[in-house]
Amino acid sequence: MKYKILYAAIALSLSAGISVAAEPDTAAAKPAANTVPNNWAYKPVQQVSAPAVKQKAWVNTPIDAFVLAKLEEKGIKPSPAADRATYIRRATLDAWGLLPTPEEVTAFEKDKSPQAYETLVDRLLASPHFGERQARRWLDLARYADSAGFQNDQTRANNWRYRDYVIASFNSDKPFDKFIKEQIAGDELWPDSLEAKIATGYLAGYPDNYNSRDLVQRKYQIETDITDLVGESLLGATIGCARCHNHKIDKVSQKEYFQLQAYFANVVVNEKAPLPKGAELPVDVDYTTHQAAYQAATKEIRAKQKAILDQVREKGRKYHNERYLTDSRDAIFKPEKEWTPLDKWVNYRTNAVASERDIAAYLKQSAENKKGLEYDAANEPLWAQYEALSKELKKFDSLRPTKGSNTFTTVSELGTVAPETRVRFTGIHEKPLEAVEPALPALWAGANTKLEITPTKTSTGRRTALANWIANGDNPLTARVYVNRVWAQYFEKGIASNPGDLGRAGPKPTHPELLDYLAGNFVKQGWSTKKLEREILLSSVYRQASAERDDVLKADPLNDFLAVYPRKRLEAEEIRDALLYASGKLDPTIGGPAVFPQMPSNLVAGDNNFTGNPLWEVSKDPNDFNRRSIYTFVRRSLPYPLTASFDPADPSHPHHKRDVTTTPLQALALFNSDIVVGWSQALAGRIISEAGASEDAQLNRLYEILFSRKPDSSEKSALKAFLKDEAKTIQARAWTNKFEVAVPTGLKETANLDPVKAAAFVDLVHTVANSNDFAYRF
C-alpha cells in the first residue's frame, strides 16, 4: 500500500523539512528531527521562558527569542526588517483587511519616535476595522451564513446579529474564555443577557432543511453538525471521524464521540425570539416601522385570508403533519401528556417550521385535485377567494421591509431532561446501538474526568459544564488551538502547521516552546486577543522582509523556521474590500442587516426559490454596493460570484484555512467584471482629483494608493508607453459611429478632461489593479 507510506512522508516533511518530491520512499524511514511526542497537544501547557540568543538586538518581543534560537541553531540569519511602507501595507491588510492610505504611509515613514511601530499597531488595534477582519476569520470557523441551506435555502433574517456580536467582541477585546462560554451556553449562563443569547447563534448556524420529513434523523444531523463544530473550531480535533468508526489515529472511540454529542441532545433553536423592549437598534426600529406600515395596509386582506384558512385549519394541519415519516408522525400525533423528551423535540421542531403556507397548500390540494382523497367541492370557492386575495396582497410587496427583523435567534432547551443519545453503527442513523450519557473523550480529559452537570430551571446544564471545561486555562487544547490559528493568520501556516488538526495526524509544531509560551501568556493576559496580536505585529519575526533568499531556499525550503516573511495572496474579501477602499467608495458603516450588492443578471431573474422568494434581490440603496464584504449576504446555495473563485470559506463546515488556488476564473472576474471596472473608473477619478493633471503625479499616486510605494523608473516608462499607445487605440475608435469609453468617475471638474486620455488612464488603473503587486501582500 504505497499511499500509506507517502502519507507518512508528507507528515514528516511538514515538521522536519524533508522533501516529499525528492525521495518519498525513504523519507518515512528517516528519523524525524522533531522529537515532540505525537500526543503533545493533550499534555499541559508548559511554563516556558524565552531561550538565550546571540543576536540579542533582534529580539523585540519574547516571540523573537524563540524563533531566533532555532535559526541560530540552524545557522540561518533572519531577514532584515521590511521597509516601513511594506510593513504598514502588510500590517494594515492583516489587521484590517484594507490598504493603508498614502497619508498613513507617509506619516508612519516620517515618525522618528522610537515608539513609531507601537503607535501604528495600537492605532490598527483600536479601529473597528480590526473587529471586522478578525470576525471574518471566526465566522469561517462558525460556518456562518445568512440562509439555511438545502433546497429552499431560506433567509435567516436574524443572523447578522450574531455576526455583529462577533465583530463587537473582537473590537471590545472580550476575553476569549467568555467569548467561548457565551457561544456554547450563553442562554444557560446569562439568561437575562440578550448579547449572550445572540452569541449562541454559533451553535444555531447549522445548515438546515426546514422541509425535512424525517425529524428524528434531522435531529441527529443537527447534533452531528454542532458536535463537529465545537470539536473542530475550539479543540482543533477531527472528532467527526469517530462518528462512523473508532478514530484511527487519535484515540477517540465511537462511544466517546456519541458521549460528546450528548451534551447537545436537548438543544433547540428559536429563530423568532422577540427583541426585548428597549433593546432595538435604529435598524430594528426602521424594520418595525416598515413592517407596521405593511401590516396596516394589508390588515383586511390578511384577516380575510386567515378566516378562510381557519375553516380548513384542523384538516389542513393534520394533512400537513401526515407527510412526516413513521417515527416523527408517531410523536406528532401523540397526546402531549405522553410525550417523551424526544417527542417534545419533534413537536417543537414541527411547530417551528409550521406556517400558513401549509394550510394554504392543503386548501389548494383539496380544491383542485378531484381525484385526491382530500377533494372537497366546498373548498373550490374558498381556494378561489384565497388566491384572489393572495394576488391582491402581492400588490403591497413593495411596502415590505427588504432587510432586517424584529426578532433574534437563540438556542435554548426543552426542560431539564434530555432525549437519549445512542451510538450509531458506522454513524448511520437507522442503526442505533447502546444509549450513552454525556462525557468527555479520555484523550482530552484523562480517563476519569467527569464533568459536574447542574441543571438550570429550564435546561439540562450540559452545555454549561462543557463550556466551562473548554474555556479553562488548564485545558491543554483551547488556548493552543486558538493562538495557533492567530499565528497562522499572520504567518500563512500555524506553528503546528495545520490549525484544524492538533491531533496525532496533524503536523507537529515546529516551535513547541513558542506555542506554549503564546498559549500560556494568552491565558495569563486575560485571554486577550488584542494583546496576543499586538505582540505578533511588533515582533521582529513579523517585521522581516519577504525578499527571496537562496540560502533560505536551500536550508529551509518550507520556511518552517521563518527566516523570511511569507508573502501571501489577499483573501477573497480583502481583494474586494481593498479595491473598493482604494476607489474611495467604501461605506465604512459597521454592522447591520446583510446587504445585497450587484449580481449577474441571470441569477437575479426568475423565480429562484421554492417559497417564491428570489435568491437575490439587488439592493435598491447603492450604498449597499459599497459595504465591506463581511456584510454581503451569505446565501449558502449561491456564493457571491465576484469573489467565489478566490477560495472563500465554504459555509457548510468549519473552515480552518483559506487555500490559495490560482485559476483563469479569478482572472476573468477581476479583469472583466463591470463592478471592478466601475471601481477602476472611480479610482482613476480619485487620482486625478488628488494628484492633478501631471501624468507623473498621477502614476505616483496610483502606486501609492495600491502598493504603498512609487513606481520605479522602468515601471514608469512602461506605464507611460502604455498610456500613449492606449490613447492612440482609443482615438482610432473615435472614428467609428458609436464612440463610448469608460472614463474616470467622481470628478468635480471635467471641463478640461480629454476623454481619450482619460479613458486610457482608466484602462491603466484597471490593469495595475489586476497585477500581482496588488493581489499579494509582501
Partner 1 sequence: MTSRRDFLFNTGLGLGGAALAGFVPGLTINSATAAELIDPLAPKQPHFPAKIKSVIWLHQDGAPSTIDLFDYKPELVKLAGKEVPSSFLQGIKTSTQGGVGKLFVSPDRTWKQYGESGSWFSNLVPNIAQHADKLTFIKSSITVGATHDISILKLNTGDLNPGRPSLGAWISYALGSANPDLPPYVVLYNGKSEPRAGSVNWNSGFLPAVYQGTAFRPGNSPIFYLERPELRSDVQQSNSLALLKHLNQKGSAKFPADTELKARLRSYELADRMQTSAPEAVDLSKETDATKELYGLNDPISSGYGTTLLRARRLVERGVRFVQVVTGEPGVDTEVTSWDAHDDLQTNHSIKARQVDKPIAGLLEDLKSRGLLDTTLVVWTSEFSRTPWGESGSGRDHNPWGYTQWLAGGGLKAGFTYGETDALGVQVADKEKAVDTYDLHATVLQLLGLDHLKTTFLNNGRSERPTVVYGKVIKDILA
Which listed residue (715, 746, 747, 753) binds partner 1 by CB under 8 A?
A: 715
Q: Binding to partner 1 by residue 52, rule CB under 8 A? A: no
Place of cell 478514530: 247
Residue 189 beta carbon to partner 1: minimum distance, rounded to whole angstroms: 29
Give the whole-angstrom CA distance, residue 499 versus residue 233.
9
Cβ 3 to partner 1 shortest distance, Å: 5
Contact assessment for residue 506 and residue 239, using Cβ atoms and an 8 Å cutoff: no
Contacting partner 1 within 322-341 (CB under 8 A): 322-327, 329
State the SS3 of 461-504.
Answer: CHHHHHHHHHCCCCCCCHHHHHHHHHHHHHHCCCCECCCCCCCC
- Judged on CB neighbours under 10 Å (0-12, 13-18, 19+), 567 is middle
User: Is 380 a binder of partner 1 (CB under 8 A)?
Assistant: no
Is residue 241 involved in binding partner 1 (CB under 8 A)?
A: yes
From 403, 576, 628, 636, residue interacting with partner 1 (rule: CB under 8 A): 636
Is 112 an interacting residue with respect to partner 1 (CB under 8 A)? no
Is residue 249 close enough to count as binding partner 1 by CB under 8 A?
A: yes
Of residues 220-239, which lie at the interface with partner 1 (CB under 8 A)?
A: 221, 224-225, 232, 238
Residue 261 near residue 224, CB atoms below 8 Å = yes
Contact 206, 225 (CB under 8 A): yes
Residues of this chain, 301-320, that bind partner 1 according to CB under 8 A: 319-320
Residue 209 interacting with partner 1 (CB under 8 A): yes
In DSSP terms, 432 is beta-bridged to 424
Residue 148 as a binder of partner 1 (CB under 8 A): the answer is: no
- Which of 35, 602, 713, 752 is close enough to bind partner 1 by CB under 8 A? 602
As a whole number of angstroms, the distance between CA 504 and CA 514 comes to: 19
691 grid coordinates: 494628484
User: Site residues for partner 1, window 413-472 (CB under 8 A)?
Assistant: 426-427
Kindly tell me which residue out of 615, 684, 688, 706 binds partner 1, with binding defined by CB under 8 A.
615
Q: Which is nearer to partner 1, 525 or 637 (CB)?
A: 637
Question: Segment near partner 1 (CB under 8 A), from 13-21, 120-128, 187-195, 347-355?
Answer: 13-21
CA 150, 391, 399 angle in degrees (round to 5)?
75
Is there binding between residue 30 and partner 1 (CB under 8 A)?
no
Q: Which is nearer to partner 1, 48 or 242 (CB)?
A: 242
Cα 757 from Cα 722, distance rounded (Å): 11
- Which part of the chain contacts partner 1 (CB under 8 A), choosing from 3-11, 39-47, 381-389, 579-587? 3-11
Q: Where does residue 112 rank: exposed (0-12), middle (13-18), buried (19+ CB within 10 A)?
A: exposed
Q: Is 612 in the site for partner 1 (CB under 8 A)?
A: no
Q: Considering the complex, what minimum distance in angstroms separates the CB of residue 375 from partner 1?
A: 8
Based on the shown chain and the rule CB under 8 A, indicate whether residue 713 belongs to the binding site for partner 1. Answer: no
Terminus-to-terminus CA distance in the chain, angstroms? 41
Q: Closest Cα to residue 530, out of 108, 175, 196, 173?
A: 173
| 204's grid cell | 444555531
- For partner 1, the binding residue among 264, 565, 633, 761 (CB under 8 A) is 565
For partner 1, the closer of residues 101 and 546 by Cβ is 546
**Nearest approach, Cβ of residue 254 and partner 1 (Å):** 12
Q: Alpha-carbon distance 418 to 268, whole Å? A: 11
Q: Which is nearer to partner 1, 514 or 541 (CB)?
A: 541
Binders of partner 1 among 485-524, rule CB under 8 A? 492-493, 497-498, 500-501, 503-507
DSSP label of 262:
G
